[in-house]
Amino acid sequence: MSKLFVRPYQFKDREAVLRIGADTAFFGAPIEAYMEDRNVFLEAFYAYYTDIEPEHAWVACADETVVGFLTGCVDSHIHDRRYVRFILPGLVSKALRGKYRFGRRSIGYLSGLLGGWLRGEFTHADLETYPAHLHINVDSNWRGHGLGQRLMDAYLQQLRKLGVKGVYLDTTSLNEAACRLYEKIGFRILDARPDRFWAKWFGYPVENRCYGLRLI
Ligand SMILES: CC(C)(COP(=O)(O)OP(=O)(O)OC[C@H]1O[C@@H](n2cnc3c(N)ncnc32)[C@H](O)[C@@H]1OP(=O)(O)O)[C@@H](O)C(=O)NCCC(=O)NCCS
């Protein structure tokens, strides 16, 4: 029997966190379903949390192996400013120098994202009431052992200690286990909008959802 526990993220966990992040990015399955080069996604999406705000990240371990994580941000306005300053220039520079592989899948996905944005399908949270946000993923072999719940407990306790007013997260109706977990904890849907890109992909209606939880 493995010993399961949750602890704060350390820099040595970076590779494992990024691997799990990419292996679970397609509704719990690997990102390669819609992107040829996982580094584009990891550097655009997760590098902020592992490299710039690592003090609010948590990992779930089975013995010494990292099998899940929660990456957090306590102030989403600060995230946006730091993202533009520290992450975006590197991404643009690497893309222009041809350091990423963009094939049909990535181009289809990125144009789908753009279309969703133009059609107003992205959800929004009121950042004054819900300033913090999070991303959570557990390796498919280790789901259902209570680690998702323990990661959430650790982060929410940290936010409460810091006096943060509220926390939000973005997900979809396809992330069923995740939605159940959030609702069980007390999160409620703040905003929900139909997503045409994923609906076309899967052949049935999909909803983008923003969940929020007030902490004080
Ligand atoms: C969502 C996720 C992090 C949950 O982690 P987990 O370790 O499997 O969850 P836990 O074992 O702690 O379960 C906690 C609660 O989640 C819900 N849940 C977990 N697995 C579920 C499943 N297969 N079906 C329905 N609800 C489920 C239940 O409410 C459960 O509480 P209960 O056991 O009292 O019923 C994990 O399933 C995951 O990584 N999924 C794929 C990626 C993903 O969707 N990430 C979230 C993106 S927004």
pLDDT tens digits for range 17-33? 999 999 999 999 999 99
pLDDT tens digits for range 29-80? 999 999 999 999 999 999 999 999 999 999 999 999 999 999 999 999 999 9
pTM given for the model? 0.97
pLDDT tens digits for range 126-149? 999 999 999 999 999 999 999 999
User: What CATH number does the domain containing 48 carry?
Assistant: 3.40.630.30
For ligand 1, say whether the CB of 30 is within 6 Å of any of its atoms. no
For ligand 1, say whether the CB of 140 is within 6 Å of any of its atoms. no
Statement: residue 89 has pLDDT above 90 = yes
Distance of CA 201 to the CA centre of its chain: 21
Going by pLDDT thresholds of 50, 70 and 90, the confidence category of residue 2 is very high
Domain count, the chain: 1
For ligand 1, say whether the CB of 149 is within 6 Å of any of its atoms. yes
| pLDDT for the residue numbered 63 | 97
For ligand 1, say whether the CB of 136 is within 6 Å of any of its atoms. yes
pLDDT tens digits for range 182-202? 999 999 999 999 999 999 999
**Which percentage of the chain shows pLDDT scores above 70?**
100
Task: Work out the angle at residue 89's Cα, subtended by the Cα atoms of residues 85 and 92, and round it to the nearest 5 degrees.
Answer: 150
Smallest Cα–Cα separation from 58: which of 179, 185, 147, 170? 147
Q: How far is the CA of 146 from the centre of ligand 1 (A)?
A: 8
Q: How far is the CA of 178 from the centre of ligand 1 (A)?
A: 5
| pLDDT for the residue numbered 129 | 98
Statement: residue 1 has pLDDT above 90 = no
pLDDT tens digits for range 93-126? 999 999 999 999 999 999 999 999 999 999 999 9
| pLDDT for the residue numbered 118 | 98
> In three state form, how does the secondary structure of 47-98 look?
HHHHHHCHHHCEEEEECCEEEEEEEEECCHHHHHHHHHHHHHHHHHHHHHCC
Range of the domain at 97: 4-214
| pLDDT for the residue numbered 54 | 98
Statement: residue 9 has pLDDT above 90 = yes
Q: How far is the CA of 177 from the centre of ligand 1 (A)?
A: 4
Site to substitute for ligand 1 among 169, 173, 180, 183, most atoms within 8 A of C-beta: 180
For ligand 1, say whether the CB of 145 is within 6 Å of any of its atoms. yes
Nearest CA, atom 27, ligand 1:
177
